[in-house]
Chain A
Amino acid sequence: MEEIRMNTSILVIGGGWSGIKVACELVDSGYRVILIEDSTTLGGNALFTHLVSSSRDQLSSLMYKVRDHEAVEVLVSTRLVFMTGVPGDFRVWLEQEGTVLERAAGAVVVALEAEAVSLLSAYGLQPAENVLSQSQVEAELASPGESEQFSGDTSKDVLFLVGLQQEGSPLVMERAIRSASEIQTLERCQAKVLVGNVKVAEHGLESLYTQSRNRGIIYFKVKDPPKIKQDGSSLQIDVFDSVLNRDVKLTPDMVVVEDAFQPHPDAARVSRVLGIGTDSEGFFQQNNVYYLPIRTNREGIFVIGSARQPRNLKHGWTDVENTVLEVRHLLGEGKKLVPIETAKVHRAKCTICLTCVRVCPHGAIYWDNRAIISPVACQGCGICASECPMDAIQLVNYTDDQMEAQMLASIEKEVEAPQIITFCCQNSAHEAGQMARLFGSTLPEGLQMIKVPCAGKVDVDYILTAFEAGADGVLVLACHKDNCKSQQGNTFAEWRVEDAGRMLEEIGLEKERVHFATVASNMPVEFVRITSEMEDTLKRLGPSRIKKQAAA
């Protein structure tokens, strides 16, 4: 082990409320913060008029703190353009109105808020005085004195459209319920809501929904988007009501249309600069349970709040607290004990082809006169070691020699049962296999489990060596798709099994002798099923010809 210095400054990208909160919490824990915001002001777009006054006071004091605290550097009109380095030692280049600023940080927290986008055009509506987006109606209601729509005592019938041109979420629902409730309390105003699924899966939201109905708001739960006719200021909505079982015609004075939440406009670019993944909707953080709540594929880079999923402020702040814990474990008091090497690069063999740099899912490899693997960032998956065309990388605890020795030692030559060398990912298959044994399940007699840190460690050489060692069949067992702790280790493993299968055919061995399957750590019964099916296949195929030749 060695002790390395860790930079105790943290770069926070995004000055919305989650960014502000994480900055304050980090300085309370003794760290320094560089808070960058691409617009000209901090605070984001949310109005939060519904927060009780004590919470609004909390927000005000956070704003003062972040502006005044000597450990916080606030940079507005600033965005991240480039980053290098490893956790504890990131170098970032920022751009502020044409000037480039260089900074260093030990960790990065992404708090780039999701953007609320109007769905007016999705509903076939044109913006008008009486056709507003959710954000617009919130702004109108927030300043009642200045509002043209809601001042005086004209009676108004206001129809909200929610969850009919998007699936929606509790956040979308809550905004509609709150604004509708405010309108309902105005004299001679009636709020109605046309809704797909009423999203109430948040603390207190069912109560809010029930109260709004008790106030007189009428909800129509419908399946299909309504037909809307907008003619000047006249609005006609035709919708099928499944309770009345007939078409209903509504002629509201005003329509309010839901917003959709989309990733921050700069999310794609920033995720590329940082080398972190996004989910299929473009929000930061891949959809992988191992990253929850705030981790990413890269150590030292965290994502909080609506940057990863649009939810209410309470959830964003839960993310903040978890981030502080992770930062504390990573950066400590400025020093960290790390193993000297988890993966070792052989200087003479490395040709700086940069394959390892490209395949590392954790951004842990950089280069100088050879590839260099950061012991802080390396998560020991072994994908680099198995991809390296020169075999220049060895995982310290899983060297090729060790693996080969294990394979040779595992084969039971005297036994008739088919010998199945089974590479088991330590996060999934190995746990399931151990559980199956412990529970006394019947496993194939010739099952030889070999633990690997990630299925991505298994390279084609291992599979072929296993057959040379005397295996009748080889199983490579990995985590399910999207469940790999190293994101793509299971994918690499599957490709290699396919390659190995082709090679087996070329040398006259049946390709069913090598098989890739996925299994979860908590399903020993699945482990038993997969291994038993393999045993049946191998019994049908008979012993491996390579084994017979070696014996001869």
Chain B
Amino acid sequence: MNESSHNEASKKVLVIGGGIAGLTAAYELARLNLDVDLVEKSSFLGGHAIQFCCKADDECQKCGACTVEKRLLEVIQEERVKVCLRSELTGMNRNSRFSYTLSLRPLHIDPKKCTNCGICLEKCPADGAIVRGYSKNNVPLYAIDENHCLYFKDKSCKLCQDVCPEKAVTLDQGDSEASGETDAIVVASGFKAYDPVDKPWYRYNINKNVLTALELERMLREKGEVLRPSDNKVPERIAFIQCIGSREPKLQHGFCSQVCCGYAMRMAQAISHRYPKIKATIFYMDIQNCGKDFSNFYRKCRDNIHFVRFTPSDVCQGEGDQLILRYLDEKDGHVVEEVFDMVVLSVGIMPGSSNAGLADMLKIDLDEHGFFASADPLDGTPTSQQGIFLAGTAQAPKDIADSMAHAGQAARRVAQYLGVMPCPK
């Protein structure tokens, strides 16, 4: 952590999490002339939202994915924001300021030397060992995933290090630690997408043509096409199943994830527009609103998409990688069996896996679902600790627009706490 390049007299803020909320908080704080240390545990900034595709049909669907790109670009150009990738908070002490320690996993690819040529990824023999960031604004663009890398398994391969023309790859680097001091903290550690592996009756990881919505987003963003994983052909009938993991009191998830109806409808619309022959069906409990002017949008969707008010309890195997869903007809209750070539599970926004650990270190509370609890019923940003604020889905499920607004609110609260909102004469 390069402390000397910060202005000593400026107040500092630590932002935990580099997703859209963390990026927005960092950006807004920097605009207020505060120095920001942005700590991100993965190799890339952007969180989940940077992986989302544009869902325009003949017009913008207001999903907000492009605003994430813009915000990421703004942050990497902002001098007052110092980014620390692959770092996690390991401890925090409060005295007159906040003192904290970080664990740092090494950036095997040096951002100062890497020219983004991509030769390492091209030559790498192990699947998934070198990953590319989602956006051109991810710096460095490439990263090594130790879980798949042969060097980290048995030191058997150093190909990337050898072929890199800029000598930007250094495999033999260990973890390190760093410490710092800050005057305020913003917790923007995001969420965990519900893993449908816990519901094997949906056949996720069993039948290749069952995907999560996040996987569909990535496919659309990367390939611009919808292809069945089993045979790389364009599907004819796609089913979306809503509320996977959400609105389930039995799982302690007695909450609505707020984004799934919106993203499923937008993706189904975008797909129908691009492939008029594809028939999309959305299986739902209650359709939730998204954005402004929702009733017009919903009406437009009902022209193209078949809505079925029923949550299928199983995804059954059909002939040759096809999938069968059974539901009760709304009019007379008779059982309908329909064949689909692809099933998309609309997984919900769950509390992040580091929430409990972070709450403990920072001495702030979690709510009954496991999200960070706000201390004010009318303001979702303050915690029980003065100077520690919440931003984004770390506090509760919300969409991109609300995450950005929430982060802006947190930035303002930080500014008030630090006494830096100047008074005009």
Contacts and interface: CB of A to CB of B under 8 A. Distances in A.
Interface of A: 8, 28-31, 51-52, 54-55, 58, 166-167, 169-170, 197-203, 205-207, 210, 221, 223, 242, 245, 279-281, 283, 285, 287-290, 292-293, 308-309, 313-315, 317-319, 321-322, 324-325, 328-329, 331-334, 427-428, 431, 434-435, 438-440, 479-483, 518, 520-526, 529
Q: Which of A31, A51, A431 has the most CB of B within 10 A?
A: A431
A425 to B, nearest CB: 12
Contacts of A242: 309, 330-331, 333
Nearest to B289: A169
B380 A314 contact: yes
Interface of B: 28, 31-32, 52-54, 56, 58-60, 62-70, 73, 116, 118, 132, 135-136, 141, 221-224, 247, 249, 254-256, 258, 261, 285-289, 291-296, 298, 309, 330-333, 377-380, 396, 401-402, 404-406, 408-409, 411-413, 416, 421-425
B65 A522 contact: yes
22 contacts: A30-B422, A197-B288, A200-B247, A201-B288, A201-B289, A205-B256, A287-B291, A292-B64, A292-B67, A313-B378, A321-B413, A322-B408, A325-B412, A332-B422, A333-B424, A431-B73, A431-B136, A439-B132, A483-B60, A520-B66, A521-B70, A523-B54
B425 A333 contact: yes
Contact of A321 (B261, B332, B377, B409): B409
A29 B256 contact: no
Given A169-B289, A289-B66, A480 B221 contact: no
A427 B60 CA distance: 14
Contact of A289 (B64, B136, B221, B224): B64
B141 A480 contact: no
A522 B405 contact: no
B224 A526 contact: yes
B286 A325 contact: no
Given A167-B295, A523-B224, A206 B254 contact: yes
A481 B59 contact: yes
Contacts of B421: 28-30, 324, 328
A266 to B, nearest CB: 19
B332 to A, nearest CB: 6
Given A308-B292, A479-B60, 17 more contacts: A167-B295, A169-B294, A197-B287, A199-B289, A201-B256, A202-B256, A202-B258, A203-B255, A221-B286, A285-B292, A289-B63, A319-B405, A325-B32, A325-B408, A520-B65, A522-B53, A525-B222
A52 B379 CA distance: 13
Contacts of A288: 60, 62
Contacts of B333: 242, 245
B50 to A, nearest CB: 8
Contacts of B406: 318
A93 to B, nearest CB: 25
Contacts of B66: 289, 428, 483, 520-522
Contact of A317 (B65, B379, B396, B424): B379
Contacts of B65: 520, 522
Contacts, number: 206
Q: Which of B66, B141, B411 has the most CB of A within 10 A?
A: B66
A145 to B, nearest CB: 27
Given A198-B286, A293-B404, A309 B292 contact: yes
A30 B412 contact: no
Nearest to B67: A289
A309 B289 CA distance: 12
A488 to B, nearest CB: 13
Nearest to A525: B224
A44 to B, nearest CB: 15
A205 B141 CA distance: 41
B381 to A, nearest CB: 8
B132 A280 contact: no
A283 B60 CA distance: 19
Contacts of A170: 289
B217 to A, nearest CB: 11
A292 B224 CA distance: 26
Nearest to A529: B224
Nearest to B296: A280
Contact of B56 (A198, A280, A435, A480): A480
Contacts of B405: 292-293, 315, 318-319, 322
Given A30-B424, A331-B424, A289 B58 contact: no
Contacts of A334: 424-425
Contacts of B380: 203, 314, 318
Contacts of A325: 28, 31-32, 408, 411-412
B424 A51 contact: no
3 nearest interchain CB pairs? A30-B423, A520-B54, A483-B60
Contact of A203 (B31, B67, B396): B396
A434 to B, nearest CB: 6
Contacts of A428: 66
A331 B423 CA distance: 11
B146 to A, nearest CB: 24
A290 B66 CA distance: 9
B296 A51 contact: no
A4 to B, nearest CB: 14
Q: Which of B135, B141, B256 has the most CB of A within 10 A?
A: B256
A207 B255 contact: yes
Contacts of A481: 56, 58-60
A198 B289 CA distance: 10
A438 B423 CA distance: 45
Contacts of A169: 289, 294
B70 A427 contact: yes
Nearest to A167: B295
Contacts of A522: 52-54, 65-66, 68-69, 135, 221
A245 B412 contact: no
Contact of A55 (B118, B254, B378): B378
B377 A167 contact: no
A200 B136 contact: no
A197 B284 CA distance: 10
A200 B401 contact: no
A446 to B, nearest CB: 22
Contacts of A523: 53-54, 221, 224
A278 to B, nearest CB: 10
A33 to B, nearest CB: 13
